Structures are given as C-alpha cells and as structure tokens.
Structure 1
Amino acid sequence: MRHLPSTTALRCFDASARLLSFTKAAQAVNLTQSAVSHHIQVLERELGVELFERDRSGLKLTASGQRYWEDTSTVLHQLQRAAVRAVAGDQACIQLNIAVASAFANYWLMPRLGSFVDDNQDIILSLTNRVDAQNVFVGNEDAAIELCEGATPGIEAREVLSLVYKPYAAAALIERSGITLTTGKALPEGALTHLLLNFPLIRTSMAGAWKAWLGEAGLSNESLAEKAGRGPVYAQASLALTAAMSGIGIALLPNYIARSATETGQLVRLSEVGWRANRAYFLRWPSKHSGAAALTRFEAWIVSQAEAEQTDTSEVPAYP
C-alpha cells in the first residue's frame, strides 16, 4: 500500500467484522449500507486481498480478513485512547476493558469490585460479556475472565478460581420425595441415591460433570450412570442454579454460585463430596498487553481476592 487506509474505512471494517453484516455495521458507524460496502471494497482493492466471503447466508471473514481485523482493532483502540488522553490532558484516566462470563461476574466479581474501583480511581474499568473462551481478542478487550484450561499460544493466563462441584436441590423437592430434613444432620441412609434416581439431574456446559462426581461419591451404578447422561441441559451455571431453586431437579454447582442460595435456605447441599473440574476461571490477555499498568494492577487485585477466598475455607452447613 502506498498510503494508509482512512479511519472511516477501518471503522467500517471493524463494525462489519464484529457484526458480520454491512447493514448492521452501517447503523453502528452512522453511515449508509452502500457507503460501508464501498469503504470495504476500496480497502480490499488497496490491500489486494479479500477480507470477507459473501454469500446468501451473510458475511464471513476470510483468513486474511481475520488477521487484518486482529491487528487493526488494536490500532483503533489505541487511537481511541490517544484521543481521550489528548482531550483530558494530564488528568486522563486509564481505560481498562475486561470481557467476563456473566455467571462469574454476577456471583463472584461484582460483589468484590467496589474495592478495586475505590483503590484505583485513575482506572475506568468497563465490563463486557463473553460466553465462551476464545483465542482471539478483538475490539476494545484488554483481557478476559474465562472458564477454560489456561494459556494458549499468544495468550497469557493467571488462574483466578478453581471449581469444586457438589449436588444441590431445593428443600421443596426433597420434601416432595417424602424425605425429612433434620437440622445439622446428614440425609438419612439411602436418601441421596433415592433423590438422584427419582429427580432430573441438571447438566451444564461442564461436560461429564455428573459422571465424574458419581465416581467420586462411589455411586457409579448402571442406572445412575445412564441417568446422568440424559438430564436437562442448562448452558449457563446461573440457569442451572435457578432451575435447582425452582425444584426442577438436582444441580451440580460450585460453591461461589450456590453459597447465597444455601445461606438463605433456598438450596440444600446434598453431599460434602466434591468433584474438582478440569477447567477453572482464568484471567487471560494477549501477550502484547503484558506489562500494561492497569492490567497489571487488576491482575494483582483479582488474584489477592481469590487467595483470600481460598484462605477462608468455611462453608455453609449442608442442612440449615
């Protein structure tokens, strides 16, 4: 290229890559659809490569387009930060954008986040939602908190929270079974197996969790093993929590999700046996962001919060 592309063309490309639609991109950048399409065509002509595959089903980034998006989105982000700093002068705050899974954000991060905000008033922290672990950071994301197995090529990671799953059910569900709960005492002998056999075993995106937990609990009989593979699936842990509280079935949940409901008596923990998942919540960021001041401070803060929780090993009693 003999000259740099215009920022308008890059904004059109960024919006089109994120939304995979010229029509939606036009709305995002406040231009017409034909103007966005024209900017993309000019960009492709200048680069000498196709950025999108176009067919009846919509747009799809080509391999070249994906690489170009990863590079240019970072540049656009830096330009945006530079503009903010130029306008605000020496008093400019540092922008930090974290993508985070909604369950982790709602049940673990948000109740603690006030301390970070209070102690880091020069950082403007913004959160966006991320459902699944990704190996690509685009747009304004500086880092992400994801349920995954850790670092991947080009992406650094720091473990924040390991997950130990235990079975929970609503007290009303237990009462429907005819089992009587006694404060401070374990379930009557045989009651756990009875509940597991007679009520749905709610599954989540943590594949194989029920089978693994049954093995830990020494309950791997043929009937339960078969039942564990055909329960209703709730893709997010927060949905499984709500389903369990509603008496729909029995859910395997980590303590950070179930703790509040157990404290209020909405849920009862059925066993002290736990299964440690092979995935955990990690703070992950592109290697090129390593050493960034705001990210380094956030990493130190969130790790200290996680270590404090691990030190506090107290758990709500199973039977309120």
Structure 2
Amino acid sequence: MHHLPSTTALRCFDASARLLSFTKAAQVVKLTQSAVSHHIQALEQTLGIELFERDRSGLKLTKAGLRYWEDISTVLHQLERAAMRAVAGDEVGHRLNIAVPSAFANFWLMPRLSSFIECHRDIMLNLTNRIDGENALISNDDAAIELCEGATPSIKAREILSLVYQPYASASLIERSGVSRDSNGALSTDELMHLLSNAPLIRTSMVGAWTAWIKASGLSSPSLAERAEQGPVYAQASLALSAAMGGIGIALLPKYIVCGAMDTGQLVRLSAVGWKANRGYFLRWPARQSGNLALMRFEAWIASQAEAEAAMPTRD
C-alpha cells in the first residue's frame, strides 16, 4: 500500500459498517449516497479486499471487512476524543456517556448512582435514554445498558441483572375479585386460579412471559393459556407497574421494579413461583471502547453493585 486511506473514506466505511446501509451512512457523514459508495469502492481497491457482500437484501460485512472495521473504529474513536480534548481540554477525557432504559434507570440505577459519583468525582457521567432493543453500535454513546441476551460480535457485555418474573396485583383488585387470603396473606391454588381466570393479565414487551410463567407454575389450563395472550399490552415495565398498582389487572414483573410498591402495600405478590427470562440487563459497549478507562471504572462499579444485589436474601 503506497498511502494511507483518507479519514473521509474511513468515516464512510465506519458508518456503513454500523448501519449496513450506504444511504443511512451518507446521512451520518453528510455526503451523498453515491459519494459514500465511491469512497468504499476506492477503499476496497486500496486494500485489495472486499469489505462488504452486496445483494438485494442489503449490505453485510465480509470476514475481512469485520476485522478491518474492528481495527479502524478504535482508531477513529481515539482521533475523535483527541480532537475534543484539544478543543475543550483534558476534562473531556473524563466524560462518560451511558444510554439507559428509563425503567431500569429509575428503579435500579439512580438509587445507587450517588456511590459511583462520590468515588469517581473526576468522571462526568452523562445518562441518555435508550429504548430496549436499540443497537448499541448506532449511537455516539460510550456504552449502553440494554435488555438483551448479552455479548454479540464486536460488542462486549457485562451482566447486571437477571430477571425473574412473578405475578403482582393491588389489594383493591384482590378484594373486588372476592377471593380471600390466609393469615399470611397467601392465596390457595383455587383462589389464585380464580383470580387469574377473571382479572386482566397485563402483558409487557417480554413476549410470552405469561405463557411461560403459567407453565412453570403448573396451573396450565386451556382457558388460562388462551387468556395469557389476550391481555392489554403495556410495553414498558413501568407502565405495567402503574397499571397493576391502579387495579387495572395482574402484571408479571421482576423484583427490582416492585420493591417500593411492595413496601408500601400498593402491590401484593400472588405466587412465589418465578419464571426466569432468557434476557436480562447488560452493560454493553463496542469493542473499540475497551481502552476507555472511565468506562472500565464504571463497569467495575456496576459489577460490584450487581454482585451485592445478587447476594441479598430473597424477599417475600
């Protein structure tokens, strides 16, 4: 190779690899689609390799393209941070941008976050909102906390919280249903079946949760299985929580989001049976961020918080 690729060509390739679309990449780098395509072709000629597989379904990185992207994305990120430090001073090097789903932030992260800030005063932590399922690569954030299955190619991950779902309802809904609880507040199997068969079963973005929980509980019946897929949908867990507290129906929710409502008596746990979801909350970051010391300090802190959470005794 007689010369290094231009930074424009590398930016075009980085955006195209992240978005798997020349059209979307063009919007990011503020060039035309044809200009992006030209830069990619020129880069492939310079390197002597194909970076993308092109077909009717779109773009896909080749193995060589993926390896090259992992290498150059790290370099581009370092250049970007160097430019920011040159303009704003060393303070920028201690800023950390983390995207977080609102429910996880409000009910788990924020009550603990002061300990990180107290111990790491040199880091300015910025939190932005992330919708569950959004790709961690398609953003300018250093990392993201996501509801997912963990690491993927080019994405590192640290598990924070596994999710075990149990059914909850308000005391007012239980009273309206006419069922009774024993001296310990528990429901008999028959009373639980009656409640589940008559109250709305609130669904969330965790698809199939009710069906899986019913199977795990041993309460399966054709009518109950059918009702599990017919309840109202409240896509965010925080909405389902509010609906359950308001007596709208029964919600399957993980422990972290119901603790406060349980303490105040706004919710009652209907069964000790739990269903563990195949997804959990993970801190995820592009591999190119592995040299980000501020991020690594945040990872160590949140891992210690997760370990402390896991060691806590299960509450009734």
Q: TM-score, normalised by structure 1?
A: 0.75
Q: Which amino acid in structure 2 is aligned with residue 281 of structure 1?
A: Y
One-letter code of the match for 2:232?
P
1:8-47 aligned at under 5 Å gives the runs none
Amino acid of the structure 2 residue aligned with 1:240: A
SS in 2 for 1:186: coil
Name the aligned partner's letter for residue 145 of structure 2: I
Q: Counterpart in 1 of 2:247? A: 247
Amino acid at match of 1:125: L
Distance 1:227 1:7, change over 3 A: same
Aligned residues of 2:204 and 2:235 also touching (Cα < 8 A): yes
Counterparts in 2 of 1:73 and 1:241: CA distance versus 1, 3 Å:
farther
Aligned partners of 1:185, 1:90: CA distance in 2, in Å? Answer: 58
Residue in structure 1 matched with residue 133 of structure 2 by the alignment: 132
What CA RMSD, in Å, does the superposition of the two structures yield over aligned residues?
4.1
Correspondence 1:265 to 2:265? yes
Is the counterpart of residue 191 in structure 1 residue 191 in structure 2? yes
Deviations 1:222-254 (A, max 9, x none): 110111011111111111111111111100000
Structure 1: segments with no counterpart, 5+ residues:
19-27, 29-68
Deviation digits for residues 185-210 of structure 1 (CA, Å, limit 9, x no counterpart): 31245111111000111111111111
Shift of residue 278, structure 1, vs aligned partner: 0.8
1:28-107 → structure 2 map (5 Å cutoff): 78=78, 81-90=81-90, 93-107=93-107
CA contact (8 A) 1:168 1:250 kept: yes
Cα distance in structure 1, aligned partners of 2:167 and 2:127:
31
CA distance in 1, matches of 2:93, 2:121: 8
Q: How far apart are residue 72 of structure 1 and its match?
A: 9.8
Identity, % of aligned positions = 67
The equivalent of 1:290 in structure 2 is: 290
Q: Which residue does 2:228 correspond to in 1?
A: 228
Give yes or no for contact 2:160–2:303 (8 Å, CA) kept in 1. Answer: yes
Residue 118 of structure 1 and its aligned partner are, at CA, apart by: 1.2
Aligned length: 313
CA distance in 2, matches of 1:91, 1:280: 33
Q: 1:201 corresponds to which letter in structure 2?
A: L
Q: TM-score, normalised by structure 2?
A: 0.76
295-304 vs 88-97, which deviates more?
Answer: 88-97
Matches within 5 A, 1:118-197: 118-128=118-128, 129-134=130-135, 136-181=136-181, 184-197=184-197
CA distance in 2 between counterparts of 1:306 and 1:164 reads 15
**How far apart are the structure 1 equivalents of 2:89 and 2:126?**
21
Matched to 2:133, the amino acid is D
- Tell me the equivalent position of 2:280: 280
**Residue type of the partner of 1:248?**
I
Aligned pair in 2 of structure 1 residues 224, 267: CA closer, same or farther (>3 Å)? same
Q: CA 1:92–1:210 in 2, change beyond 3 Å: closer, same or farther?
A: closer
1:73-102 deviation digits (Å, cap 9, x = unpaired): 988865553344235545555121111211
- Per mean C-alpha deviation after superposition, the further-off stretch among 122-131 and 105-114 is 122-131
Q: String of CA shifts for 1:128-153, please: whole Å, max 9, x gaps.
A: 1233142x513421111111111111
